[in-house]
Amino acid sequence: MAVISFGHTLPDTVSYPTILLDLPQIDGLPLVEVWMSDQPVTMHRTPDCSMAMTSDVLLGSIHVDERSCISLDTTAYEGYRDLLQQIRALGYPHLWRVWNYFPRINDDQDGLERYRRFCVGRHQALTESMIDFPTALPAATAVGTRSGPLQIVFLAGAHPATHLGNPRQLNAYEYPQDYGPRSPSFARATVTRSAHDSRLYIAGTASIVGHTSRHAGLPMEQTKESLRNLRAVLNHAQHVTGVEFTEAQRRALYKVYVREPGLLQDIRRALQDSPLSTHHLVFLEGDLCRRELLMEIEGLIISESFPS
Ligand code: 3EB
């Protein structure tokens, strides 16, 4: 359905979406992310948007170039408005999972941090047209690239998914205004089900408890806190949906976003005794949405079990 690469160029003569993110892979063999389906896949393209669809799911990527004089809140608003309109028109109105990427995430733009501007525009587009805002908000990631346009990668479904919070964290959409004029519009996790499996998409998970960042300057401690958050979301998802996500034979993929390559050694050490070390794991260099955050983990856990 699509191929995502982290800094390596990809052929653009293929019919499926190819998504190039300037998030350099920090170590290991160079990997690409490949999305596949055993169902028939159809493609749809517009100048800004590239999508692959099966009967029940759409995987898409939209990019919006940043024009001078236009601040990121407007760019984000336009991107999301376009995205929501496309998925509705194509018959996949339910947002399941979103990945947001753009450069200079922590830079100031006309007196407001670019991440906060992004949150303002996203919030505006979603409140304008999402039925059941904020409970229908999907799990999301927002990470700073080294270069490129605003890129939004998204999964949307013909039927709804289940969106969840984390008992250890305040819902991001309820963050106080200390973190920006509009709260970040995302859920901590999303569960989707098909005839084949159940999937748990865990949003970018960092060292935040309640709404407060913990362990500034300490990569090992931040990693351990993020793992506690990951574990809590996983247990919560299992409890709410009745799907078994913790069993040993589960299939899991994790991405760890790291602010600087120099932090990798400590982060790896903190992950050593966690279940993550035995699963597919890729380390990517990217900036996180709060300056003090040094790392963030996202996950996809696939279970063959069904709700009990
Ligand atoms: C946090 O928990 C960390 O703005 O879409 C993580 C995942 C974070 C997604 C987003 C932000 C986003 O607030 C930051």
- The token duo for 140 is 């999301």
CA distances from 159 to 49, 134, 244, 277 (A): 22, 17, 22, 33
Q: Are 207 and 214 in contact (CB under 8 A)?
A: yes
Say how many Å lie between the CA of residue 177 and the centre of ligand 1: 15
- Relative to beta strand 162-164, strand 295-303 is unpaired
The mean pLDDT values, 10 residues at a time, for the chain of 308 residues are 89 87 94 95 95 98 94 98 97 98 98 98 97 97 97 98 98 97 98 93 98 98 98 96 81 96 98 88 97 98 76
Q: What is the CATH number of domain 2-303?
A: 3.30.1330.40
- Relative to beta strand 251-258, strand 280-285 is parallel
**The pLDDT value given to residue 248:** 60
* Ligand 1, CB within 6 Å, residue ranges: 100, 140-142, 172, 184, 186, 203-204, 206, 208, 289
**The pLDDT value given to residue 27:** 87
**The pLDDT value given to residue 14:** 85
**The pLDDT value given to residue 249:** 60
Whose Cα sits closest to atom 6 in ligand 1? 204
Distance CA(275)–CA(263), nearest Å, equals: 20
296 carries an active-site annotation: yes
Q: Residue 305, class by beta-carbon neighbours within 10 Å (0-12 exposed, 13-18 middle, 19+ buried)?
A: middle
To test the ligand 1 pocket, which listed residue (190, 289, 294, 298) has its Cβ within 8 A of the most ligand atoms? Answer: 289
Q: Where are the domains of the chain?
A: 2-303
**The pLDDT value given to residue 165:** 98
Say how many Å lie between the CA of residue 141 and the centre of ligand 1: 6
